[in-house]
Amino acid sequence: MSSEIASIARKYMNDPVEIIIGTKNSSAENVSHAYYIVHAKDKYKVLKRIADFEPDIYAIVFCRTRKETQEVASKLINDGYNADALHGDLSQAQRDTVMQKFRLKNLRLLVATDVAARGLDVEDLTHVINFSLPDDTEVYTHRCGRTGRAGKTGISISLVHLREKNNLQKIERMVKKPFKAIPIPTGSEICGKQLFNWVSKLETVASDHQEIEKFLPEIKLKLEGLDREELLKRVISLEFDRFLDDYRHGEDLIDPVPEKDNSIERSHRKSSHTQYSGSYKRLFINLGKSDGLYAEQLFDLVNSCTRGRKIPIGKIDLLKSFSFFEVEAGDADDLIGALNNSKFKNERVVVEIAQEKSDNPGKSRYNDRKPAKWSHRKHEKRRSRKTQRTPSLS
């Protein structure tokens, strides 16, 4: 039982005895435990990637509150997933309908609170997904115990923010099973997984020859101009249109790291002052870490200013007050025009081709502070406000 209920029992009962069936805080032997380290704002994106990476997923997604449960379920439904919500704000008739649809596998994802899911007993769950970690370890064991039944294997996946690592480690110690950190699936990996799953089904599907036989001559006539390879490409494109649109140009999600570990920045560059190579141009931007600009924010800024077009970004060098990044030479002028005079957290964005000192190519002409023209403008504003507040002595 939860610690709150145990406390009430000790307070109001005389010599209470707890009877435990099974082993306390133990999870099913057939359940493996994994987790993704994610930014809080990326939780839903990662949930979608899990669902897309597992084509035959049949899972319960656990959330902490009714509001969060409904929000996540609504987003999944709007994005085309067979999903629904189960929480305390539903009437009994609505709850029964949702649970029946899930038992019949008409729903592949059930987003639920712990309380609402207590009466739900479903076989063959492939996954339990902890969209939000529970505070109580016993609640976690109840969640993950819903998969891996009847000799089948299951997996419990948790979406964990850096601040929740201590809570996760506590759960791991109590469960006494290892929790494996796994990388967030890339768009390419997701498309490949979906494609080969579809090919496997295509190999084994039973076709009803009698029903389609009468249509074959006309179909063959319409497609006779396409060779086998072109026909395959078109069928695949038609079948995987959503995945290709979502992931072909989408940026891969980066696992967050502690602030003291700047390995994200290092992964995008070799050195703070490395010259751009090949057909890339190195650009300067008047924003840095002190402005809240990191690799992910830079991607978002570029994408928001170049709607309808995805511009690939090369090496990124994030400094305190400004940054450098590389783009293909053919995109540089267009991107500079799109970004200049845009706003980032109320700060005017200025981008230009990065310049290097001619007498010392290895050293940048920029110092790790705002260029004079921006810092001077801010200083003038502060001085102006100060002057206005100072009363005259004459």
Residue 125: CATH number of its domain: 3.40.50.300
Cβ proximity of 314 and 278 under 8 Å:
no
329: confidence class by pLDDT, cuts 50, 70, 90: confident
Domain match, 279 and 227 both: no
Domain match, 29 and 165 both: yes
Pairing of strands 347-348, 280-285: unpaired
Domain match, 214 and 169 both: no
Domain that holds residue 277: 263-380
Distance CA 82, CA 342 (A): 39
Domain match, 173 and 240 both: no
Q: Residue 126's pLDDT is what?
A: 94
Domain match, 225 and 191 both: yes
Domain match, 147 and 271 both: no
Domain match, 204 and 109 both: no
Q: Residue 242's pLDDT is what?
A: 67
pTM value surpassing 0.75: no
Cβ proximity of 266 and 295 under 8 Å:
no
Domain match, 177 and 203 both: no
Last-in-domain residue among 201, 222, 247: 247
Domain match, 285 and 359 both: yes
Domain match, 125 and 213 both: no
Last-in-domain residue among 222, 247, 272: 247
In a domain, 394, yes or no: no
Highest averaged pLDDT of the listed ranges 97-101, 263-267, 280-284, 326-330: 97-101
In a domain, 255, yes or no: no
Considering only 32-36, 100-104, 276-280, 295-299, which range has the smallest mean pLDDT? 276-280
Domain match, 171 and 192 both: no
In a domain, 390, yes or no: no
The total of structural domains in the chain comes to 3
377: confidence class by pLDDT, cuts 50, 70, 90: very low
In a domain, 194, yes or no: yes
Q: Does 373 have pLDDT greater than 60?
A: no
In a domain, 192, yes or no: yes
Cβ proximity of 70 and 85 under 8 Å:
yes
In a domain, 310, yes or no: yes
- Burial code (b: 16+ CB inside 10 Å, e: under 16) for 80-114 equals ebbbbbbbeebeeeebeebbeebeeeebbbbbbbb
Percentage of residues in the chain having pLDDT higher than 70: 76
Q: Residue 51's pLDDT is what?
A: 94
291: confidence class by pLDDT, cuts 50, 70, 90: confident
3-state SS, one letter per residue, for 31-76: EEEEEEECCHHHHHHHHHHHHHHCCCCCEEEECCCHHHHHHHHHHH
Distance CA 222, CA 216 (A): 10
Cβ proximity of 281 and 315 under 8 Å:
no
Torsion of CA 66, 69, 72, 75, to 10 degrees: -70
Last-in-domain residue among 195, 223, 247: 247
Domain match, 13 and 76 both: yes
